[in-house]
Amino acid sequence: MISYKIRGDYAELTVPKKWDKYNLESLLKDYWKAPKKLVHDWRMSKSILVNGNVPNWLATLNEGDRILFPFFTEEKPEVEPTFHELEVLYEDDHVIVINKPAGTDTHPSSPEQNHSLLNYVAFYCLSNGEVRKVRHIHRLDKDTTGAILFAKHAFVGSLLDKMLEERKVKRTYLALVHGHLKQKKGTINQPIGRDRHHPSRRRVSPSGQAAVTHFEKIKYMPTENMTLISCQLDTGRTHQIRVHLSSIGHPLAGDTLYGGMPIFERQALHALTLEFIHPITEEPIKVYAPFLDQPPIFPKMG
């Protein structure tokens, strides 16, 4: 674990033994793989201090050195902060995980929209004295519920974006699909592209973007003729789980856009868990998102 203290706009990180082969430049560029522009800006503005002094960026760091990083410099929110009750599943100085309800967009689709989850998280941070340009790290469809990750500052946002790209942010979904899915587990590896006949639909298409969905059967419910499954994604294409499961003849219950029956008011898809190694503290984080639907859509897991 990497320990730190808050010093105003700064995080003071104590150099662990494993960093003593790095200098400040290689720590940022090679260890953290931080964005070049951000590193350049910090270097030119002399914003980073080591042991209270403007450092030589090429000098080797020593265990116990104290580095001040300007992580928490105020940034004006890029969206209009809007009050709305939130279920916070995990929060620290760098990240926040929200349990997203159905019927809410992850982010605004136009500048005048102010009722997305991003607007609500911006207000939440502002109300806690954190003037932040919060960033969503991934998205959930408007009517998908569950855990969604936001970054509170640019540096951690860039690290999490890279982790997501490298599949180091693990997301597990629950889905209720029509019919008896007989396979115990499987992988759908089919590219996804736009449906030229419908503005919001996607479809399996040879010319689409690569998309990989892994699924595992949890249980079949013969009375309802539905199967409860878990899914994990190697990619994050729009409507990926919905398109892939429909393509094998098992659309999500309630997902009328992709062939599901309208037995629920939304598609039966929930982001149950979110797992990652915290990019700053290096602690393993695993977050569970309780079900939100009333009456419940998903059966009890026991």
216-269: per-residue pLDDT in tens?
A: 999 999 999 999 999 999 999 999 999 999 999 999 999 999 999 999 999 999
Confidence label for 302 from pLDDT (cuts 50, 70 and 90): low
Q: What confidence tens digit (pLDDT) does each residue in 120-150 have?
A: 999 999 999 999 999 999 999 999 999 999 9
Does any domain span residue 191?
A: yes
Q: Which of 65, 141, 143, 255 is catalytic?
A: 141
- Above 90 in pLDDT, residue 93? yes
pLDDT of residue 96: 98
Q: Are residues 48 and 126 in the same domain?
A: no
CATH number at residue 263: 3.30.2350.10
Q: Is residue 289 part of a domain?
A: no
Q: What's the pLDDT score for residue 11?
A: 98
* 70-81 burial code (b ≥16 CB/10 A, e <16): bbbeeeebebbb
241 and 178 in a common domain: yes
Is residue 284, in this structure, part of any structural domain at all?
no
Exposed/middle/buried for 291, CB within 10 Å: 0-12, 13-18, 19+? middle
pLDDT of residue 248: 98
Same domain? 143 vs 224: no
Residue owning tokens 């990083």: 69
Q: What is the mean pLDDT of residues 160-174?
A: 96
Whether residues 25 and 63 share a domain: the answer is yes
Which pLDDT value is given to residue 155? 97
Same domain, yes or no: 267 and 176: yes
The whole-angstrom separation of Cα 104 and Cα 90 is 19
Note whether 151 and 189 are same-domain residues: no
* Whether 254 contacts 268, CB under 8 Å: yes
From the list 114, 85, 110, 113, the residue with the least C-alpha distance to 100 is 85
Token pair for residue 121?
A: 């998280």
pLDDT mean over 79-86: 97
Instruction: Report if residue 292 sits inside a domain.
Output: no
Predicted pLDDT at 199: 87
Domain count, the chain: 3
| 29-76 confidence digits (pLDDT tens) | 999 999 999 999 999 999 999 999 999 999 999 999 999 999 999 999
Statement to judge: residues 120 and 99 lie in one domain: yes
Q: Over the Cα atoms of the chain, what is R_g?
A: 22
Domain extent for 103: 88-169
Q: What percent of the chain has pLDDT over 90?
A: 95
Which one of 144, 169, 194 terminates a domain? 169
pTM of the model: 0.95
Q: What is the pLDDT of residue 1?
A: 87
Amino acid at 55: P
To the query of whether residue 30 is one of the catalytic residues in this protein, the response is no
- Whether residue 143 is found in the same domain as residue 185: no
- Quote the pLDDT of residue 112: 87
